[in-house]
Amino acid sequence: MRVLDVAESLNVVRGVAPLARHFVARKVDEARVFAKKAGFPVVLKAVSSGIVHKTEAGAVRIVHSEPDLARQFVLLKRLAPKVLVQEFVRGVEFIVGLKKDPVFGHVVLAGVGGVYVEVYKDVSFRVCPVDEAEAWRLLDDLQGSAVLSGVRGKKLKSELLVDAIVKLSELPKKQPRIAELDINPFILNDREGKVVDARVVLEQGLC
């Protein structure tokens, strides 16, 4: 099995779902240029396949200013040679993913994400591939499905989540070596839905 780092994993997901804008920086100046363009706050993440839970390893920092960015960049460089700089996305967190099951083959899953995924274990599964109607039914199965129809009076753009589920469910056809793929979180608001974190595990193959 080969575990991809966050930057490589985001590349696997590219084309399947919109990604939060990001740049992989080796030098603080590169990070600064990106942050000025994207606007603060930005999120910094150490890029290392050895770090599974970045938050717990202190490898995720939200920065609000240039001096803050310079300080945190140095700290993250102690963990990894590369630092991902990413736009900050506001919204509700979902998990979307793939797993290779020994009986069913690839299954696609979705649920309410962030910390709640561990607390409520509110995730539902379907065998790949699924069409739009099946993806909507998958979301309806969630105990937390009500969150999609409104948070503080604002309706989330659920169709973007459905689109990500459908496209993700078609990915194993092209990339059968995916053993596991976790998008956590996919952040959804009333205008957009973006992947901010991904983790991919590939089966070892000959090529």
Q: Which residues bind ligand ADP (CB under 6 A)?
A: 20, 43, 45, 53-55, 60, 86, 88-89, 93, 114, 184-185, 187, 196-197
Find all residues with CB under 8 Å of 3, minimum gap 6, and list them.
Answer: 49, 52, 199, 200, 201
Q: Which whole-number Å values give the CA distances from 155 to 11, 31, 142, in the listed order?
A: 29, 34, 17
Told to check if 86 binds Mg ion by CB under 5 A, we report no
Q: Which listed option, Mg ion, ligand ADP, none, makes contact with residue 43 (CB within 5 to 8 Å by class)?
A: ligand ADP
- Residue 205 CA to residue 70 CA, distance in Å, equals 40
196: partner contacted, choices Mg ion, ligand ADP, none (Cβ within 5-8 A by kind): ligand ADP
Q: Shortest Cβ distance from residue 117 to ligand ADP (Å)?
A: 9
In the complex, least distance from residue 135 CB atom to ligand ADP, rounded to whole angstroms: 22
Neighbours of 26 (CB within 10 A): 12
Which CB sits closer to ligand ADP, 54 or 126? 54
**What stretches of the chain show up as alpha helix (H) in DSSP?**
6-13, 28-38, 66-77, 116-120, 132-140, 158-174
The one among 23, 197, 200, 202 contacting Mg ion by CB under 5 A: 197
On the 0-12 / 13-18 / 19+ scale of CB atoms within 10 A, 4 is middle
The β-bridge partners of 178 are 202
Instruction: Considering the complex, state which of residue 9 and residue 158 has its C-beta at the smaller distance from ligand ADP.
Output: 9
Residue 148 binds which of ligand ADP, Mg ion, none (CB < 5-8 A, kind-dependent): none
Of these partners, Mg ion, ligand ADP, none, which one is at the site of residue 88 (CB under 5 to 8 Å by kind)? ligand ADP
Residue 108 CB, nearest approach to ligand ADP (Å): 19
**Using CB under 5 A, which of 184, 186, 194, 195 touches Mg ion?**
184
Q: For ligand ADP, which is the closer residue by CB, 128 or 183?
A: 183
- Helix and strand numbers, DSSP H then E, in the chain: 6, 11
Residue indicated by tokens 């607390």: 119
